[in-house]
């Protein structure tokens, strides 16, 4: 049984909580979670990979067990989340890693890669978007409207996304058998979303999401120029990030491995074993050889 450690470190006065497993000298997998979850979404993947990798999964500021200052006391933007994550990695001494990005984890991960391209040995995108084709209009149009108009009305229109129905839907939509999804997953998220001030935290991040689209041309250039190995393993029934977003990686990473799975947004809840075995095989075939060449 792989031991999973639960740790907290101070980064410029902010507590960053993370889950970690695996040998200290093993290749690092950096798992970056999405909304409305935390490192909790990786609770089963971490021990599944911890035999052969050093697996590190931090909670973003405002999420999980990391510090969650009020929106008046912290700039809840994706640039700020990435900045804290970069300083967290520096604090714990991690300089090279493969990123596993899902949902919000993607724009955090892209910023880390653009800030220090040589640090990223591989990219695993599990419903982590980097292309316009990935946006499902019915879901994203209200978010774009708020980012553009910035009115109380457009902001309030997004409040239902913080509620029980929307959070549960994120976990169950597109899953052929929703009984395979553990209800504790969304109950965990809802408990944390109910904390005082969380509505402003999350609404600020919704409003900031448009800044991530502006990064995409730079991300595409990095993929082309670096030749970094890419695995896009995607719940093909996702109604937030469409499967076309996975296929689009081939445009800038021609060697990308694209796996479309009969699942939804939180693929690990229904297809844990498939994701773990696919990731391990891809890393051994695509990332490990380049790591040996560098060393």
Q: Exposed/middle/buried for 22, CB within 10 Å: 0-12, 13-18, 19+?
A: buried
- At 90-106, the pLDDT tens digits run 999 999 999 999 999 99
pLDDT band at 227 (very low <50, low <70, confident <90, very high): very high
C-alpha span between 266 and 235 (Å, rounded)? 8
Which residue has 């300083």 as its token pair? 87
pLDDT of residue 1: 80
pLDDT of residue 290: 76
* Distance from the Cα of residue 26 to its chain's centroid: 22
Estimate the crossing angle of helix 210-226 against helix 198-208, to 10 degrees. 60
Let me know if 265 is a catalytic residue.
yes
- At 182-211, the pLDDT tens digits run 999 999 999 999 999 999 999 999 999 999
Choose the catalytic residue: 33, 188, 265, 283.
Answer: 265
Average pLDDT, the chain: 97
pLDDT of residue 291: 67
Least Cα distance to 37 among 201, 185, 252 occurs for: 185
Task: Inform me whether the pLDDT recorded for 294 exceeds 80.
Answer: no
pLDDT band at 292 (very low <50, low <70, confident <90, very high): low
Least Cα distance to 269 among 160, 171, 125, 143 occurs for: 171
Task: Inform me whether the pLDDT recorded for 166 exceeds 60.
Answer: yes
- At 105-117, the pLDDT tens digits run 999 999 999 999 9
- At 20-68, the pLDDT tens digits run 999 999 999 999 999 999 999 999 999 999 999 999 999 999 999 999 9
């Amino acid at each position: 049984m792989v031991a999973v450690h639960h740790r907290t470190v101070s980064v410029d006065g902010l507590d960053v909580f993370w889950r970690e497993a695996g040998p200290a000298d093993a290749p690092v997998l950096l798992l970056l979670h999405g909304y409305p979850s935390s490192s909790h979404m990786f609770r089963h993947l971490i021990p599944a990979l911890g035999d052969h990798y050093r697996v590190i999964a931090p909670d973003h500021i405002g999420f999980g067990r990391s510090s969650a200052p009020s929106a008046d006391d912290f700039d809840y933007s994706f640039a700020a989340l990435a900045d804290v994550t970069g300083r967290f990695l520096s604090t714990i001494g991690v300089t090279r890693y493969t990123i596993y990005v899902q949902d919000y984890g993607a724009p955090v991960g892209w910023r880390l890669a653009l800030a220090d391209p040589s640090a990223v040995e591989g990219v695993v995108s599990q419903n982590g978007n980097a292309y316009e084709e990935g946006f499902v209009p019915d879901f994203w149009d209200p978010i774009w409207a708020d980012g553009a108009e910035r009115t109380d009305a457009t902001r309030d229109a997004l409040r239902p996304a913080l509620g029980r129905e929307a959070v549960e839907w994120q976990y169950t939509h597109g899953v052929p058998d929703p009984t395979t999804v553990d209800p504790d997953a969304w109950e965990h998220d809802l408990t944390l979303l109910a904390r005082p001030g969380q509505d402003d935290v999350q609404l600020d991040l919704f409003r900031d999401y448009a800044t991530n689209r502006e990064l995409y041309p730079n991300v595409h250039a990095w993929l082309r120029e670096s030749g970094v190995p890419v695995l896009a393993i995607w719940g093909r029934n996702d109604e937030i990030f469409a499967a076309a977003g996975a296929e689009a990686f081939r445009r800038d990473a021609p060697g990308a491995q694209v796996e479309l799975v009969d699942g939804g947004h939180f693929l690990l809840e229904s297809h844990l074993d498939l994701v773990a075995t696919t990731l391990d095989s891809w890393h051994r075939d695509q990332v490990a050889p380049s790591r040996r060449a560098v060393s």
